[in-house]
Amino acid sequence: MGLLDRADAVLFDLDDTLLDYSAARDAGIITWMQEVDAARHATDAVRRWRELEEHHFRRYSQGELTFEEQRRARIRAFRPDLREAADAVLDRAFSDYIVHTQAAWAPVPGAVETVRTLAARLPVGVLTNGPVELQARKLRTLGLGDLALFASSELPAPKPDVRAYEAACTELGVAPARTVMVGDDLTNDVEGALYAGLRSVWFCRVALGEPDGWPVTPSSAVSVVTDLRELLS
Ligand SMILES: [Mg+2]
């Protein structure tokens, strides 16, 4: 039986599901460090930046910080020389970094062909936490700018709030129970989707045995793929 049997629509997450965000971020931070602090150990810098991103982006998703504030908080914690810097200086530093990540934007292997094949058969949308301009630019870079985009800056609430999934399903004109959410994040793409009544496919690029911290009772509503092309079989 196919993973999308009896599905009327598919929603994809964007970052680290369609766009290889982590690879671009790591490449960006390494290139940026070579410019601003060549003495800093690249592996340590990458690890620290990942931690800061996870922490502060979560705070943004929970409404604790604005999108700009979470960026500034990351720069302040990452660059001791900019700890006391004015917002404008922090914003400029972040822009310098982001130029390098954007130069490295590329699709996750199999993402584009999977989306294109599915979109010829049924409604396909992208449900993502982030500002609509940035997320739309990512989709255009992937050659997927024509897909329906539901970015949290334009939704009643970000994932994992049930209103995010409900708004996307309403816009697509499909029932949540007949919609499958595909994404890499257990909280935003699996747990939240299930609460909203959707089915979910967890995209886990590293093949795991029994995943740690499985947040929901595995059921027929959740499947796991390690390659998006499995959705086509
Ligand atoms: Mg993601």
pLDDT of 123-134, one tens digit each? 999 999 999 999
Task: Give the Å distances, CA to CA, from 78 to 1, 41, 94.
Answer: 48, 13, 11
In a domain, 2, yes or no: no
CA of 19 to the centre of ligand 1 (A): 9
Which of 1-10, 160-169, 186-195 shows the lowest per-residue confidence on average (mean pLDDT)? 1-10
CA of 120 to the centre of ligand 1 (A): 23
Task: Give the Å distances, CA to CA, from 51 to 8, 61, 74, 82, 144.
Answer: 37, 15, 9, 18, 29
Judge if 126 and 217 occupy the same domain.
yes
- Domain stops at, among 77, 103, 129: 103
- Domain stops at, among 48, 68, 103: 103
Among the listed residues 183, 188, 179, the one whose alpha carbon sits nearest the alpha carbon of residue 205? 183
pLDDT in tens, 220-232: 678 899 999 999 9
State phi, psi for 67 to the nearest 5 degrees: -60, -40
CA of 205 to the centre of ligand 1 (A): 11
Judge if 87 and 127 occupy the same domain.
no
Total domains in the fold of the chain: 2
CA of 150 to the centre of ligand 1 (A): 14
Q: Which residue has the higher pLDDT, 209 or 228?
A: 228
Judge if 146 and 220 occupy the same domain.
yes
pLDDT in tens, 135-183: 999 999 999 999 999 999 999 999 999 999 999 999 999 999 999 999 9
In a domain, 3, yes or no: no
In a domain, 131, yes or no: yes
Tell me what pLDDT residue 148 has. 98
CA of 185 to the centre of ligand 1 (A): 5
Q: Which residue has the higher pLDDT, 26 or 214?
A: 26
Judge if 208 and 135 occupy the same domain.
yes
Hey, what are 70's tokens? Answer: 């979470």
Measured distance CA(131)–CA(154) in Å, rounded: 8
CA of 39 to the centre of ligand 1 (A): 31
Tell me what pLDDT residue 219 has. 61
Judge if 123 and 207 occupy the same domain.
yes
Helix, strand, coil shares, percent, the chain, to 5: 50, 15, 35
Judge if pTM exceeds 0.85.
yes
Tell me what pLDDT residue 105 has. 97
CA of 165 to the centre of ligand 1 (A): 15
CA of 14 to the centre of ligand 1 (A): 6
In a domain, 163, yes or no: yes
CA of 173 to the centre of ligand 1 (A): 24
Judge if 155 and 165 occupy the same domain.
yes
- Domain stops at, among 75, 103, 131: 103
Mean pLDDT over each residue of the chain, to the nearest integer: 93
Tell me what pLDDT residue 193 has. 97
Q: What is the residue range of 165's domain?
A: 9-20+106-232
State phi, psi for 77 to the nearest 5 degrees: -75, -25
Judge if 121 and 192 occupy the same domain.
yes
Judge if 187 and 198 occupy the same domain.
yes
CA of 86 to the centre of ligand 1 (A): 31
Judge if 66 and 142 occupy the same domain.
no
Tell me what pLDDT residue 137 has. 97
Q: Helices (H) and strands (E) in the chain — how many of each?
A: 8, 6
Q: At what angle do helices 67-78 and 87-103 cross, to 10 degrees?
A: 90
Tell me what pLDDT residue 62 has. 86
Among the listed residues 68, 78, 62, the one whose alpha carbon sits nearest the alpha carbon of residue 29? 78
CA of 193 to the centre of ligand 1 (A): 13
CA of 15 to the centre of ligand 1 (A): 4
Judge if 28 and 16 occupy the same domain.
no
